[in-house]
Amino acid sequence: MEMKLKDIAELCGGKLSGDPKVQITGAGDLQSPNKGEIIFIVSPEYIEKAEKTNAEAILVPNGTAKSKKPTIEVANPKIAFALVMNKFVPEPKPQPGIDKTSIIGKNCHIGNNVHIGPYTVLSDNVTLGENTIVESNSYIGQNVKIGNNCRLFPKVTVYYNCIIKNNVRAHSGTVIGSDGFGYEKQNEVYHKIPQAGNVVVEDNVEIGANAAIDRATLGSTIIRSGTKIDNLVMIAHNVEIGSDTLIVSQVGIAGSSKIGNNCILAGQVGVGNYVTIEDNVIVGAQCGVPMKKRLRANEIYLGSPVRKIKDMAEIFALEGMLPKFFSKFKRLRKDMDELKEQVDNETKGSR
Amino acid sequence: MEMKLKDIAELCGGKLSGDPKVQITGAGDLQSPNKGEIIFIVSPEYIEKAEKTNAEAILVPNGTAKSKKPTIEVANPKIAFALVMNKFVPEPKPQPGIDKTSIIGKNCHIGNNVHIGPYTVLSDNVTLGENTIVESNSYIGQNVKIGNNCRLFPKVTVYYNCIIKNNVRAHSGTVIGSDGFGYEKQNEVYHKIPQAGNVVVEDNVEIGANAAIDRATLGSTIIRSGTKIDNLVMIAHNVEIGSDTLIVSQVGIAGSSKIGNNCILAGQVGVGNYVTIEDNVIVGAQCGVPMKKRLRANEIYLGSPVRKIKDMAEIFALEGMLPKFFSKFKRLRKDMDELKEQVDNETKGSR
Amino acid sequence: MEMKLKDIAELCGGKLSGDPKVQITGAGDLQSPNKGEIIFIVSPEYIEKAEKTNAEAILVPNGTAKSKKPTIEVANPKIAFALVMNKFVPEPKPQPGIDKTSIIGKNCHIGNNVHIGPYTVLSDNVTLGENTIVESNSYIGQNVKIGNNCRLFPKVTVYYNCIIKNNVRAHSGTVIGSDGFGYEKQNEVYHKIPQAGNVVVEDNVEIGANAAIDRATLGSTIIRSGTKIDNLVMIAHNVEIGSDTLIVSQVGIAGSSKIGNNCILAGQVGVGNYVTIEDNVIVGAQCGVPMKKRLRANEIYLGSPVRKIKDMAEIFALEGMLPKFFSKFKRLRKDMDELKEQVDNETKGSR
């Protein structure tokens, strides 16, 4: 695979400086690209570092100064680079076709150009849209609807009645629609509350490996469009996550909580029941959001229990100063006692 | 599906106020029930809210005042509602039968009315009790015993020699009996300690999706009856968990720890090795219980490392006051220095 | 199965004290061994406890005093005991052979004595070394290379292009090579950055159940030889983990971080992006290592955010003293105010 620099500039909608006929043979890593590869830098300050590599050309942000190597100026070099990667190292995709070992239930509606991998089981009344891929050893429960252009990697499980819209990707081991954790104690024994709702995953969502998204008790657990969910994330029953939100790996969100649009929940965050997180909130790694708490729009939070970043950063810093502070306090106590003695002595002396 | 209100009252053992012939068509959510649906409230204080909905009737706690809508008084409305849900939205269940694509090892004992799903593998000497369901793409290791009325959802894995008793449910992706994490370092290299024990899961346990329960090194990792384990929980080798305990999602329990009866470990709790948690203990979300620590019966704990709730709540509050406190301290230091100067000056002056 | 004590001593390279003809029938647990079993103690101080059990003989550390029971002195009783366990309770292993229900892609190279379990799928161009076991319901992507003497338990997933070297074990549900979590936001929408690299798992690595190891964006996510990874661990794209390091369960390591050799990351540790952890570092349970931080070789760290153990242990202790400290401070403030008044009065009086 080779592309002329000129064609790459066109692909990215960028402005080329340098020989348009240079042949590019791959997409390289800034740390150690090979000859022939194109790399990218996110900021003009890395241009010297990039020039010292073996890279053949550089994707740079608009306004980056002329370079010794050919450059292509673009609005967002990372997104331009993604386009280049899709040319040079495209993701392998299974061919359309229904493997003869797959099992297709009654009344399934299978769109055009669908791939169903070996040993995958579709229960009754499943709908798969066009160009959708369900890879090997997967299980799709009854009445599940999956839209167009989805890709379920091997060993994805979708329980009955769940709905997955278009352009959704779910990685291996992920479980969508398992029972919510609902029990009621009576006479020292837990009784199961049936979990009869479903999960709805909207367009353009991607879900990582070995995540678990529980079905609602009644109604739906909802993941809105464009949201990205990382590996080993836990989403409980009746949770609603807004659009274009990032849920980083190992986050856990407890029952009935609502997460807004354009939020980021960093790794290992825990969110209690009935929490509300408004739009554009960032919750730092390992934060704990207590039950029923509301996090305000456009704020950044840290700590467990969470506080606004300004407060929590100050507390973290002061915690670090506690040892010094305790000795300062002891010193003050001592000074105080000495002064008291001095004053008492003076008083006595002056009588 | 329709039921007369009279029949629902009978089903729940409750006291009906209102027209017994009202037709109920579903179990509804308090937030937005449809016409024809019955809902429940957990406390009389919600009765007005419930009356304003479209619900046809309300399950209420005993002693709730008369309502404009028909009510059924019961001891526990949530449990009554669960009975109603089981009528209106029963969990779909695969029919008894052994799928022709399943693989059954030698000397397996399969009870009556068992379902074994497609592409499920039973190794040699497996026992399955009556009415048990092992869904598709599951793997059951050799010598495993599974009791009556169990349901293993698709893609559950049970390693060799493990024992699962009656009425146990395990959701997709869960692994029971993987090796404990046991190594011994010698000459800078880790040597594996064989993990030759098993896992015993007693009656009425439910395990969520993608959980992992390790086999004991010798003896058994034990989950006692009635305990409920949520998604993505990690239980290490030789752990013992008592009866009727809740282990919420993403909890991790390290090797050889003992958890009592009727405990609650909230989400993302971490329990170190050789910990003892006595009966009726509640451990708050994200708590860390240090190695070998003992948590006392009937107590509630918070924090990492954990402290009793009273102490930890105070510490959390005081941490929040640290910034103000540090400035108060500075002020006191200044006052002190000024007073010292004043005293010294007076002393000088009075000489 | 029976072994003479003499033969066990030989197996372990240990020094026998007692009747060499004693028959040993099993490997026992120090807590409650059966008659006929051999047990081990890690330190001479446990010898009395061991003597009071039903055990037939005891593996003891070199230099342990004579006992009433037969003993075998060895350098490391735990490792000696592992050898004994491998004799008495060897791990069951599937026989070599390719199950007729497995699917083998084009151009696969399968070594001698390989086992491929039922319903396992090997994509095109897969290489499996000698004596390697890939159990049932597993999926191996195209171009994957797996070395000799590996064991993949049921339901392991390896995505395309990944490399697994020799003597590697991976437990059920583990996913190797899923996409890294890489997106770039433009016009309020996340664009996917292709994840075109792979994962390289070197010799003698063991990976627990339901772990997830993401492929690199470009280049490789690397787990070096001898490292052990526990259940439900998350390793992000482009992470590198050194040799002989322990990653305990539910640890999460974010993108591009480097972990050294001979480290221990205890349970539920979270490591941010671009972190460097040097060799021989121990990170305590539930620690949080902030983005880009460097942890110094040979140090132990605690807390979230992490600090060196000495500092953090002091802070934890001082946090516990905060309530007492706040009242001490109040007392000091009061003493100060009283002294000030006293001084002011004296001054007035002396005028």
CATH assignment of the domain containing C255: 2.160.10.10
A115, A171, A191, A237: the catalytic one is A237
Phi, psi of B139 (to 5 degrees): -135, 125
Residue C213: inside a domain:
yes
Alpha carbon of B187: minimum distance to chain A alpha carbons (Å): 34
In this complex, is the C-beta atom of C25 within 8 Å of any C-beta atom belonging to chain B? Answer: no
Give pLDDT tens digits for A38-65: 999 999 999 999 999 999 999 999 999 8
- One domain, residues C187 and C270: yes
pLDDT of residue C350: 65
C-facing residues of B in 37-66 (CB < 8 A) are: none
**Residue after which a domain boundary falls, among A39, A61, A88:** A88
Instruction: List chain A residues with CB under 8 Å of C250.
Output: 250
Instruction: List chain B residues with CB under 8 Å of A185.
Output: 244
Instruction: List chain A residues with CB under 8 Å of C335.
Output: 336, 340
- One domain, residues B65 and B199: no
pLDDT of residue C308: 97
Residue A98: inside a domain:
no
- One domain, residues C76 and C184: no
Residue B104: inside a domain:
no
- One domain, residues B289 and B166: yes
* Alpha-carbon torsion (C211, B169, A218, B72), positive or negative: negative
* Strand order through the sheet with A246-247: A97-98, A115-116, A133-134, A151-152, A169-170, A206-207, A228-229, A246-247, A264-265, A282-283, A300-302, A307-308
pLDDT of residue A343: 87
Task: Characterize the bridge pairing of strands B183-186 and B189-192.
Answer: antiparallel
Give pLDDT tens digits for C89-134: 999 999 999 999 999 999 999 999 999 999 999 999 999 999 999 9
- The size of the A-C interface in CB pairs under 8 A is 190
**Residue after which a domain boundary falls, among A305, A330, A346:** A305
| pLDDT of residue A17 exceeding 70 | yes
Residue A139: inside a domain:
no
pLDDT of residue C183: 98
B109, B115, B191, B237: the catalytic one is B237
pLDDT of residue C351: 59
pLDDT of residue C128: 98
- One domain, residues B167 and B80: no
Please tell me the total number of residues recorded for chain A in this structure: 351
Show contacts of B307-313: CB within 8 Å, 24+ apart.
B307/C320, B309/B284, B311/C320, B311/C323
Show contacts of A239-246: CB within 8 Å, 24+ apart.
A242/A279, A243/A202, A244/C185, A244/C188, A244/C189, A244/C190, A246/C181, A246/C183, A246/C190
Residue B324: inside a domain:
no
Alpha carbon B197 to its chain centroid, in Å, reads: 25
C105 touches C116 (CB < 8 A): no
- One domain, residues C295 and C206: yes
- One domain, residues B83 and B160: no
User: SS3 string of chain A?
Assistant: CCEEHHHHHHHHCCEEECCCCCEECEECCCCCCCCCEEEECCCHHHHHHHHCCCCCEEEEECCCCCCCCCEEEECCHHHHHHHHHHHHCCCCCCCCEECCCCEECCCCEECCCCEECCCCEECCCCEECCCCEECCCCEECCCCEECCCCEECCCCEECCCCEECCCCEECCCCEEEECCCCEEEECCEEEECCCCCEEEECCCCEECCCCEEECCCCCEEEECCCCEECCCCEECCCCEECCCCEECCCCEECCCCEECCCCEECCCCEECCCCEECCCCEECCCCEECCCCEECCCCEEECCCCEEHHHHHHHHHHHHHHHHHHHHHHHHHHHHHHHHHHHHHHHHHHC
Whole-angstrom distance, CA of residue A319 vs CA of residue A317: 5
pLDDT of residue B343: 87
- Could you give the number of structural domains in chain A? 2
B-facing residues of C in 73-92 (CB < 8 A) are: 75-76, 78-79, 81-82, 85-86, 89-92
Three-class secondary structure of residue C70 per DSSP: coil
Alpha carbon of A328: minimum distance to chain C alpha carbons (Å): 12
CB contact (8 A) between residue B268 and residue A272 = no
Mean pLDDT computed over every residue of chain A: 96
Residue C106: inside a domain:
no
pLDDT of residue A64: 92
In this complex, is the C-beta atom of B29 within 8 Å of any C-beta atom belonging to chain C? Answer: no
Alpha carbon of C131: minimum distance to chain A alpha carbons (Å): 24
**Residue after which a domain boundary falls, among C264, C287, C305:** C305
* Alpha-carbon torsion (C222, C228, C231, C232), positive or negative: negative
Instruction: List chain B residues with CB under 8 Å of C206.
Output: 179, 192
Q: Pick from A116, A171, A190, A230 the residue to mutate for testing the B interface (most B CBs within 10 Å).
A: A190
- C237 carries an active-site annotation: yes
CB contact (8 A) between residue B210 and residue A175 = yes
Name the one residue in this structure whose structure tokens are 């492929």: C215
- One domain, residues C166 and C272: yes
Residue C26: inside a domain:
yes
Segment C203-212 mean pLDDT: 98
Residue A22: inside a domain:
yes
Alpha carbon of A343: minimum distance to chain C alpha carbons (Å): 7
| pLDDT of residue C38 exceeding 80 | yes
C-facing residues of B in 210-249 (CB < 8 A) are: 210-212, 214, 217-219, 232, 234, 236
Q: Residue B197's domain spans which residues?
A: 156-305
Q: How would you write the pLDDT of chain B (351 residues) with one tens digit per residue?
A: 899 999 999 999 999 999 999 999 999 998 899 999 999 999 999 999 999 999 999 999 999 988 999 999 999 999 999 999 999 999 999 999 999 999 999 999 999 999 999 999 999 999 999 999 999 999 999 999 999 999 999 999 999 999 999 999 999 999 999 999 999 999 999 999 999 999 999 999 999 999 999 999 999 999 999 999 999 999 999 999 999 999 999 999 999 999 999 999 999 999 999 999 999 999 999 999 999 999 999 999 999 999 999 999 999 999 999 999 889 999 998 998 998 888 888 877 765
- One domain, residues B199 and B79: no
Among chain B residues, the shortest Cα distance to C204 is held by B190
Give pLDDT tens digits for A197-254: 999 999 999 999 999 999 999 999 999 999 999 999 999 999 999 999 999 999 999 9
Give pLDDT tens digits for C60-81: 999 998 899 999 999 999 999 9
- One domain, residues C42 and C162: no
Whole-angstrom distance, CA of residue C212 vs CA of residue B123: 27
Q: Pick from A93, A156, A268 the residue to mutate for testing the C interface (most C CBs within 10 Å).
A: A268
Report the phi/psi class of residue A119: left, alpha or beta, with left for phi > 0 and alpha for psi in -120 to 50.
Answer: left
pLDDT of residue B40: 97
Which of C90, C285, C350 is closest, CB to CB, to B288?
Answer: C285
Which of C183, C196, C305 is closest, CB to CB, to A85?
Answer: C196
Instruction: List chain B residues with CB under 8 Å of C226.
Output: 189-190
B-facing residues of C in 109-168 (CB < 8 A) are: 117-119, 135-137, 153-155
Chain C: list its partners (3+ Cβ pairs within 8 Å): A, B
Alpha carbon of B50: minimum distance to chain C alpha carbons (Å): 40
- The answer to whether the pTM exceeds 0.90 is yes
CATH code at position A9: 3.40.1390.10
- One domain, residues A83 and A163: no
- One domain, residues C164 and C283: yes
Alpha carbon of A260: minimum distance to chain B alpha carbons (Å): 19
Among chain B residues, the shortest Cα distance to C92 is held by B160
Whole-angstrom distance, CA of residue C185 vs CA of residue A294: 26
* Strand order through the sheet with B15-17: B15-17, B71-74, B57-61, B37-40, B26-27
Give pLDDT tens digits for A125-174: 999 999 999 999 999 999 999 999 999 999 999 999 999 999 999 999 99
Alpha carbon B204 to its chain centroid, in Å, reads: 13
